[in-house]
Amino acid sequence: MKHLKTYNIFEAKESILDLCWYNSVIDQILPQSDIFDYIKILHRNEDDFYDGDLDERIGEFSKYKLMEIDIDKINIDEWDLDVDYLKDYKNKFKENSNYPPIVLDSDTSYSYKNKYTIIDGTHRVNALDRSGIKTVKAWVGI
């Protein structure tokens, strides 16, 4: 069964999605407030946003830079996965390769095997990885 949330983000028309997703370009830099708004729209459910401490984790950096990151440099096994979300994303990526960029913590010194830690986008990056994609667009804290 398709998760409505997964498909709704691909059809949302909010202007912050234009800035952070649809019209974003590699090496673009945005303030954390834009990333905060972007992730809040992607989640839709405030409980997801605050229960996962996303607001605090996003707030650790004043700016974010859009980069193309090798998936093997990201700790993609840190969080539990909802298998249905994963399937939905894999199916959606087959239809539309313009996926919402994930958000990463740039401080790899404390993470597992010095890999990037995911702030937001665990299902997206895992779906891309399982689809054979080797790199991911990511907003990286700077």
Render pLDDT for 2-27 as a digit per residue (tens, 0 to 9): 444 544 555 555 788 899 998 999 99
- 10 Cβ neighbours under 8 A, 6+ residues apart: 92, 96
Token readout for 108 is 């790899």
To which residue do tokens 């700077």 refer? 142
Report the distance separating Cα 127 and Cα 135, nearest Å. Answer: 12
Give domain limits for the chain. 4-132
Asked if residues 40 and 109 have their Cβ atoms less than 8 Å apart, the reply is: no
Q: What percent of the chain has pLDDT over 90?
A: 52
Q: How many residues does the chain have?
A: 142
Tens of pLDDT, residues 28-69: 999 999 999 999 888 767 777 777 788 889 999 999 999 999
Q: For 119, list phi and psi in degrees, rounded to 5.
A: -85, -45
Helices (H), 12-141: 15-17, 32-43, 46-51, 54-58, 83-95, 122-130
Query: Global pTM?
Result: 0.86
